[in-house]
Structure 1
Amino acid sequence: MKLYPINSGNFKLDGGAMFGVVPKSLWQKTNPADANNMIDIAARCLLIEDGNRLILIDTGMGNKQSDKFFGYYYLWGNDSIDASLKANGFHRDDITDVFMTHLHFDHCGGSIQWNKDRTGYEPAFKNAHFWSNLDHWNWATQPNRREKASFLEENIMPMKTSGQLTFTELPIQGDILRKSKLGFDIFFANGHTDKQMIPMIQYNGKTICFMADLLPTAGHLPLPFVMGYDTRPLLTLDEKEKFLKMAADNNYYLFLEHDAHNEIITVQNTEKGVRLKNVFSCNEIFN
């Protein structure tokens, strides 16, 4: 097995929204804001090369939305999925599986693209299975009013109409993990959105955890540092506590999808709770 970080593009989000009720005087120590109160955000995806499978976890925003849409997110840098795949010797047509942690636009938008004459949409990975789970799919396709702006029909429905959509199994009642058909364990979290999936990959004696929006950045390690975007923030508190305790006790390596400046971290138990232990680049862990 080989792992590759795939940088799909960087953007900015409002720091207050990213840290909820936490005062700026606290969160700006780890995530400094610009003059517009915006903080740097990455969309760092992960490519797993495992035998004859190439599994891409999340796909970023994509590029099919309007200039007005992207204007809200202050895109910066030159990263793209295509450029990042090419730098590692791959093409999007090589991808066999696209595993989506959840269906918010900044995690799955790159899965779907305009068709050739821009009259409709088609899968951006023509040879891939798109993986979600049935509960989250139903949640996303019948969205509540709070999340409706994050679940965009053009990002989601073409996966089904193409016949490329596949559902992974949900955990058995009482369990917190479920083994996926792609070979890795999944931790299901419901605080940010219903049935978000956190892949836990066994790699060279290490457990690599793709943290998605359970832990957006290293600055979100303190338990109360919960995004304003989360639909059930009190549940996020419990899920973070449970997962971070496992991570500290078992020395998990936490792959941060949204942290523009810290790629992989480990954590440790302290008197103040679970806190940062070490920071690594992907190259240090994957090579």
Structure 2
Amino acid sequence: MGDSLQFRPVNTENNASPTDLPAVDAPASETAAQAPAHVAHPKTIKSYVKRAGRTTTGQAKAFEDLGPKFLLKYAPQPLDAQAAFGREGKLILEIGFGMGEATAHIARVRPDDNFLCCEVHEPGVGALLKRIGEQELANIRILQHDAVEVIDHMLPEGCLDGIHIFFPDPWHKKKHNKRRLIQSPFVAKLVSRLKPGGYLHCATDWQPYAEQMLEVLSAEAQLANTATDAGLAGYAPKPDYRPLTKFENRGLRLGHGVWDLVFQRVAA
């Protein structure tokens, strides 16, 4: 696997698990392109699918009223973050924000940081724009585009202060594990965009995926685990800035665990 692989997560914040959804052209997040029957492994993986979803009237109005200010156009050239946000500030990339509940909360409690958020799900983008308007948030910009292309072509090495990946699709079945977002080649790509001291924060409610995340992140030489409490077995306490979403609360009521992993890029 290398830079030709394209990955996208799905944030299942307000949706049922999409593990077995086929690759169809309707709004949402992560999947892999289906190879023809005679091809064992496709050369390129497009790891998101646009799943069915309807944009509400309120979301459509948010697109119209707020889109011109808060939606950035994808362009294969380095992003001028200061120009995009109209100010200086730490730059945090979020990959896959679902309906934007956690994103809006974090932006509100961290007003000095700038949040660059990638999502292809149109109702989710509309929902976050609506939250931006309702909560008068000024520190979010949205790219409705494949995050891998954004990373490859818009984010130079060492430009990010943090990366958030919350509840990406766990691809429960073993034969589908190869479609998971958190794999070594993609993590290496992310780490190269982090400044020394920058952090990568992942969260999942699927224990086998948490274990894979811990293994992959621990194997990356330029990352150090911030979880020092041996009793947590390498997982971090939930940072105060990350809220419990409706999806997460529902899972906790059903007895599901949630695992946070926070790693920091070491100095070169």
The answer to whether the superposition gives a TM-score over 0.5 is: no
- Higher relative contact order (CA closer than 8 Å, sequence separation 6+): 2
Q: State the TM-score, normalized to the length of structure 2.
A: 0.31
Q: Which has the higher strand share?
A: 1
